[in-house]
Chains A and B, each alone.
Chain A
Amino acid sequence: MMIFHTGLPTHDSNQKTASLLSIILICLASVLSLLLSGCQDPPLAALEKARLALKNAEYVGAKKYAEAQYREAEKSLQDGRMEVARQKGRFSPFRNYKRGDSILALAFESANKAAADAQDFHGELKSRADNAYNGLKKELASWRDALDGSLTLFNAEKHWSTADMALKMSQSLIIKDEYEEAIRAVEKGKKSLVQISQVLNEYANEEAQKIKVWRRWVNETLEDSRRNGTTGIIVDKSAHKLYLIKAGKLIHTYDCELGYNSAKQKYFAGDGATPEGKYYVTKDRHNGSKFYKALLINYPNETDKKRFAENKRKGFISRWAHIGALIEIHGDGGRKDDWTDGCVALTNGEMDHLMQYVSVGTPVTIVRRSEAWP
């Protein structure tokens, strides 16, 4: 009885306990499910993806060629990393990686854009440098053709050589991927080429101004020869011809060689130019010259002396410069090149021929260009 009595309340209490336990279990399950739903995985894949994209951007040179975009991607990656870390530190039900995910996606995009921009810019810059280099190379070759031969202008040659140095530098810089420096070197080279144009323009202007004077000198020499029935010599530097005239008529034409800087007027000793002016033979040297026969002319004449003094005064030539002397028409020529210091050279046979007609006092007119004559 006693046992039966105590059994009934025990059964009721068990039922109650079971109900209570069920409620607790339901509550716990709810909390657990809430906890589990709050436990999102951190976006490690997105983080790794963005990190690799940034490495790739660096590899293709984004730090150099798309720096702003690269730094933006770098900052986004770090911001994303920090946001993920911040969320990881929170109590799991409250974690939310959405913001971190979107920042990392932005970092990935920025890194890819930086890589693409770097590749585009690198390609464009390389192509610009290559084009600039090839352009300068072409221009230099064309100037080389223009400067060679009779047009030996040393000032122009100097600028050409400076441009050539710039070309070589740009080539070396392109090999080392220093494209911007290479472009700068080409620009410097181009400036030197502009200076060649200026030198040649000055030369052309000088010629245009002097052509009338040269024509007058030629006409005066011809007229004197015609009037007095005498012999005369006219040298046309641009044609590389020496004309022997008598009584105003052409007797013979000789090919001649000149000073190595023959395209210019002679300004001072050692400039390699053949003088332009009206001269006459002061001495005929059948022997005594270091060349095979020679006719010495009266360089410098009064005009030369005046010009020399004027140029010195204006500082166009060094104050230590000398005017020079000993300009001759001499033998040992026939080298097919302008090689003298300023003299006029003929072959020995032609020198023998010329000496038959010429004597001391024979006028010698030297012009850069005689144009209409003979």
Chain B
Amino acid sequence: MFKYVSILLVTAALLFVVGCSKAPEADMQAADVVMQAAMTAEAEQYVPQSYNMALDTLNAAKAAKEEQDSKFALFRSYGKSKEMFIAAKALFEKATTDAQAEKERVRVQVMDMAANAQAMLDSAAVALAKAPRGKGSKADIELIKNDLESVKIGFAEAKADFDGGKFLAAKAKFEAVMGKTQGVINEIEAAKAKKAGN
């Protein structure tokens, strides 16, 4: 009789321990914190696929936890949701790292573009300084000077966007600046040719 009672008590204790497993609150909070970091790193913009995968995993983990929360205490099991929270956290961490790398890649790309635009501007300024100054080309040179000034204004605008972290807008503007600078260089060549023709 005592043997049966003991077995029953041990079984009940085991059920109690297993059934009343602890909800993975800490894992959920940790995943939420890492998600915020990913948002701050603009992962949603720079690595949307990685970010969405992490978010889907987190949402599924929350649903799995919710399912267990609503069960009778003795039947709860948070093992699966805990694993999912840990996976979501890892995915958000990866998305954050990837976003930072992607942002840096875009930044370097636009910075290179800015350097190219600056080099083009400098060479246009040098070409303009060396352009023939005699009568007959002066009006052309004055007009080219105006064009070069407007390109400088455009460059400053693109640079401001770049400094403000608006890389995509800055990229488009630097492209326009380089296009117009090339036009200025062509104008200088044409003015030189015109003068040589005189």
- Majority SS at the chain B contact face: helix
Cβ–Cβ contact A154 & B136, under 8 A? no
Within the complex, the shortest CB–CB distance from B68 to chain A, in Å, comes to 6
How distant is the Cα of A164 from the Cα of B177 in the complex, in angstroms?
11
Cβ–Cβ contact B180 & A89, under 8 A? no
Does A261 touch B at the CB level, under 8 Å? yes
Identity of the chain A residue whose Cβ is nearest the Cβ of B76 in the assembled complex = A89
Does B142 touch A at the CB level, under 8 Å? yes
> Which of A63, A78, A86 contacts B59, CB < 8 Å?
A78
Q: Within 8 Å CB of A341, what residues of B? A: 135, 138
Within the complex, the shortest CB–CB distance from A123 to chain B, in Å, comes to 20
Q: Within 8 Å CB of B67, what residues of A? A: 85-86, 88-89
Cβ–Cβ contact A165 & B68, under 8 A? no
Cβ–Cβ contact A81 & B149, under 8 A? no
Q: Within 8 Å CB of B175, what residues of A? A: 172
Q: A161-B149, A161-B150, A169-B154 are in contact. Are A272 and B66 (CB under 8 A)?
A: no
Within the complex, the shortest CB–CB distance from A152 to chain B, in Å, comes to 7
Q: Within 8 Å CB of A208, what residues of B? A: none
Interface locus among A7-15, A110-118, A173-181:
A173-181
Q: Within 8 Å CB of B143, what residues of A? A: 154, 157, 161
Q: Within 8 Å CB of B136, what residues of A? A: 335, 339
Does B173 touch A at the CB level, under 8 Å? yes
Q: How large, as a class, is the contact surface on chain B?
A: 35 or more
Identity of the chain A residue whose Cβ is nearest the Cβ of B72 in the assembled complex = A91
Q: Within 8 Å CB of A90, what residues of B? A: 70-71
How distant is the Cα of A63 from the Cα of B89 in the complex, in angstroms?
23
Most buried by B among A87, A164, A175: A164
Cβ–Cβ contact A339 & B154, under 8 A? no
Q: Within 8 Å CB of B166, what residues of A? A: 181
Cβ–Cβ contact B146 & A260, under 8 A? no
Cβ–Cβ contact B62 & A169, under 8 A? no
Considering only residues 135-179 of chain A, those with a C-beta below 8 Å from chain B are 152, 154, 157-158, 160-162, 164-166, 168-169, 171-173, 175-176, 178
Cβ–Cβ contact A89 & B69, under 8 A? yes
Does A276 touch B at the CB level, under 8 Å? no
Within the complex, the shortest CB–CB distance from B148 to chain A, in Å, comes to 9
Does B41 touch A at the CB level, under 8 Å? no
Q: A164-B180, A171-B176, A261-B139 are in contact. Are A89 and B70 (CB under 8 A)?
A: yes
A178-192: contact bitstring with B at CB < 8 Å (1 yes, 0 no)?
100100010000000
Does A82 touch B at the CB level, under 8 Å? yes
Does A340 touch B at the CB level, under 8 Å? yes
Does B27 touch A at the CB level, under 8 Å? no
Does B42 touch A at the CB level, under 8 Å? no
Within the complex, the shortest CB–CB distance from B73 to chain A, in Å, comes to 11
Q: A86-B69, A172-B173, A338-B139 are in contact. Are A165 and B180 (CB under 8 A)?
A: yes
Considering only residues 331-363 of chain A, those with a C-beta below 8 Å from chain B are 335, 337-341
Cβ–Cβ contact A87 & B139, under 8 A? no
> Which of B150, B171, B172 contacts A165, CB < 8 Å?
B150
Q: How large, as a class, is the contact surface on chain A?
A: 35 or more
How distant is the Cα of A78 from the Cα of B59 in the complex, in angstroms?
7
Cβ–Cβ contact A162 & B169, under 8 A? no
Does B119 touch A at the CB level, under 8 Å? no
> Which of A85, A160, A164 contacts B66, CB < 8 Å?
A85
Identity of the chain A residue whose Cβ is nearest the Cβ of B60 in the assembled complex = A81
Q: Within 8 Å CB of B68, what residues of A? A: 89
Q: Within 8 Å CB of A162, what residues of B? A: 149-150, 153
Q: A82-B66, A339-B136 are in contact. Are A158 and B146 (CB under 8 A)?
A: yes
> Which of B52, B66, B146, B157 contacts A154, CB < 8 Å?
B146
Considering only residues 100-159 of chain B, those with a C-beta below 8 Å from chain A are 135-136, 138-139, 142-143, 146-147, 149-151, 153-154, 157-158
Within the complex, the shortest CB–CB distance from A345 to chain B, in Å, comes to 9
How distant is the Cα of A281 from the Cα of B69 in the complex, in angstroms?
106
Q: Within 8 Å CB of B139, what residues of A? A: 152, 260-261, 272, 337-339
Q: A162-B150, A165-B180 are in contact. Are A154 and B142 (CB under 8 A)?
A: yes
How distant is the Cα of A341 from the Cα of B158 in the complex, in angstroms?
36
Does A84 touch B at the CB level, under 8 Å? yes
How distant is the Cα of A166 from the Cα of B68 in the complex, in angstroms?
59
Within the complex, the shortest CB–CB distance from B173 to chain A, in Å, comes to 5
Q: Within 8 Å CB of B69, what residues of A? A: 86, 89
Cβ–Cβ contact B176 & A178, under 8 A? no
* Interchain Cβ contacts under 8 Å between A and B, 17 examples: A63-B44, A82-B62, A84-B63, A152-B139, A164-B147, A166-B154, A169-B154, A171-B176, A172-B173, A172-B179, A173-B169, A176-B171, A178-B172, A181-B169, A185-B173, A335-B136, A339-B135
9 A-B pairs closest in CB distance: A260-B139, A89-B70, A161-B150, A85-B63, A85-B67, A89-B67, A168-B176, A85-B66, A172-B176
Sample of 10 more A-B contacts, CB < 8 Å, known A78-B62, A166-B154: A84-B63, A85-B64, A85-B66, A90-B71, A154-B143, A158-B150, A169-B172, A173-B172, A176-B171, A260-B138
